[in-house]
Chains A and B, each alone.
Chain A
Amino acid sequence: MRSIGDLVEVGGADRRRRLSGLAALALAALVPWVLWGLLSAPVNNDCDGACAADGDREAALAAWQHFWSDLAERGETALHPAAADPSLRAAGDTAFMRYRNLWGSIDRDAREAFQNAALSSDPDAKVRLLHPWTMAADKHVRFRARLEIARIHLRRRDLAAAEAMAREALAVADLVPAIVADAYFVLGAVAFEARDLDRAEEALARAVAADPGFWDARQMHLAVLAEQLGQPRQGTAPCLNRTREMIEHLGALPALAEDRTQYRDLADRFALASPVDNPALALLAGLGYLWSGDLGRARDALTRAEGARGPLPGPCADQIRDQARAYRATLE
């Protein structure tokens, strides 16, 4: 004869049986979809996320090693941007300020409208003056009017309007890359202001790629990358790429400004602003001091980079520490 406990157990088993049956039927309904997904999947689907991550890591490592061998071979001049256009000036956050010859062929009315807008101290009046030119026939005028309005919105911290107008500027076709860089710069500044670091990093990288002579874009990209390198939970590939790009900016900024004291300013910035144990920022400070000629501080910063155990993923931190060790050895 069964005990009450056994009867309760059988009742519980019956309830579990009903749930198991229901679950089995519901799961069976998924099988056709899974089969369809399998048949529709690319042939090489046996890698999934792990292979993509491995590929990114290997590519980043290859770029990292190539970068350091180039630097060892050519010194810091390897980081100086090639100045193909003799009209390039370091200062100026629009291409028309940086490249004087871009604006030369603009007709007189448009030129006066932009000058009047520049002289006005009222942002609304500036926008009113510029707005008719956003639909001008000349693509350069059209682009610059949209870009200037985007910059006015950015200064007023109207980020949505600034982004919308910068995107309208990007919609203008057939522009030289140096001009397009300006619109990406506004997008990057908007994203940085909104604390969207990923979008800021991407937009500013595009700005620098479009115009390597863009000092302001490099400067802001450097700031964004430094913040990104302080974030926890980043992958090895982004960590290596960000560190490399920061060192590229460190080498390019003083060259663009024709002012070697910027090495020291930047080194101070990362040495003082990174009390946290971040090997990437310490390496950057060390290289800045090294290239500015301050060997004592360079040694200290590189020693700090060697011992740092900061927030970076292990393989990335190891690579950085190896470079710091190699540079410090040259100072002994």
Chain B
Amino acid sequence: MTALGTLFALSLWILVLGWAARPSVAGHPSTPILSAFTWCAVAAPLAASPFWLARLNEWQTAEAVTLAGPETAYLCLWALVLRPLLVQRFDGAQLVASVSQALVAAAAVGLAVDIGDLVFPYWSPSGSPGWVEMAAFALLIGILFVGGLALAQQIDATGGSWDYPAWFAGFLVISHPAASWSSALALNQGDGLWVLSAFYALAAAIHVWQGSAPFGHPPRQGSA
């Protein structure tokens, strides 16, 4: 797949999120067409991402997959099981919601890595990024995190997004060996603790800005 796939996926994200931001659509949150396009936007980077396609190719050819093992992101895995443990509830609906958020996070990380690989080599032919490039890496990852969070909220209208930062941080940490520029940010350092903390802090800040309880579901009340 060409790098045009990256542009296509990015364009689709912008279109879907732009559409979701229109007041007329917001008044009718469960528009089936918007929901279908949201899923298309999630599927596009997964199906067209050079990063994920290269991993798929490695797996299909019995090659060692250039991803770190899941043990490198064990803190993220703990974060994923923490909420079911705390609320002592784990059912099929929560599992489906978590898997949905995992797909969105994988798409967002794939898009971030593809855009990073596309743009940053030309900023630093020597391969040793300076602080401006590192800040740009961080900004890129932050933007894709926010874009993914917005899509995750479109998919799970009840607003639960506890799992999304953990999935996003986990995918970033395990993608470290395959994303050359990510070593500049040392995303795998400290067992991914600082990456995980940073994304939860960012997600909490966004929830506060949105005026909702961090990571909480809106209260369900009976009909008047």
A residues whose Cβ falls under 8 Å from a Cβ of B: 1, 3-5, 8-24, 26-31, 33-38, 40-41, 45-46, 48-50, 53-54, 57, 232-236, 313-315
B14 pairs with A9, CB closer than 8 A: no
B63 pairs with A38, CB closer than 8 A: no
Q: Interface stretch among B80-88, B92-100, B115-123, B126-134?
A: B115-123
B146 cross-chain contacts in A, Cβ below 8 A: 19, 22-23, 26
**Contact bitstring B47-79, A, C-beta under 8 A = 1, else 0:** 000110110011001111110010000000000
A26 cross-chain contacts in B, Cβ below 8 A: 143, 146-147
Task: Determine chain A's interface SS by DSSP, over half rule.
Answer: helix
> Which among B1, B62, B118, B153 is the interface contact of A313 at CB below 8 angstroms?
B62
A53 to B9, CA, bound (A): 25
Query: Quick one: closest B residue to A317, CB to CB?
Result: B62
B218 pairs with A34, CB closer than 8 A: no
Assess A8 versus B13: contact at CB under 8 Å? Given A38-B4, A41-B3, A46-B3: no
Assess A5 versus B65: contact at CB under 8 Å? Given A13-B26, A48-B54: no
B63 pairs with A53, CB closer than 8 A: yes
User: How many chain-B residues does the 8 Å CB contact rule pick out?
Assistant: 62
B124 interfacial by beta-carbon distance below 8 Å: no
A23 pairs with B149, CB closer than 8 A: yes
Task: Determine chain B's interface SS by DSSP, over half rule.
Answer: helix
> Which among B6, B13, B147, B221 is the interface contact of A4 at CB below 8 angstroms?
B221
B118 pairs with A17, CB closer than 8 A: no
A85 to B169, CA, bound (A): 58
A49 pairs with B178, CB closer than 8 A: yes
Assess A37 versus B21: contact at CB under 8 Å? Given A29-B143, A30-B115, A236-B63: no
Interface centre among B18, B63, B218 (most CB of A within 10 A): B63
B204 interfacial by beta-carbon distance below 8 Å: no
B17 pairs with A11, CB closer than 8 A: no
Query: Quick one: closest A residue to B117, CB to CB?
Result: A48
A26 to B13, CA, bound (A): 11
| Minimum distance in angstroms from B21 CB to a CB of chain A | 3
A3 to B222, CA, bound (A): 8
Lowest 6 CB-CB distances: which A-B pairs, in order? Answer: A314-B62, A21-B21, A37-B118, A17-B26, A24-B17, A48-B50
A34 cross-chain contacts in B, Cβ below 8 A: 6-7, 10, 115, 118-119
> Which among B2, B18, B212 is the interface contact of A12 at CB below 8 angstroms?
B212
For the complex with contacts A9-B157, A19-B210, A29-B143, 10 further pairs of A-B residues with Cβ separation under 8 Å are A9-B218, A17-B21, A19-B150, A20-B18, A27-B14, A34-B115, A232-B69, A233-B69, A315-B62, A315-B63
Query: Quick one: closest A residue to B154, CB to CB?
Result: A16
B10 pairs with A27, CB closer than 8 A: yes
A33 cross-chain contacts in B, Cβ below 8 A: 115, 119
B218 cross-chain contacts in A, Cβ below 8 A: 8-9, 11-12
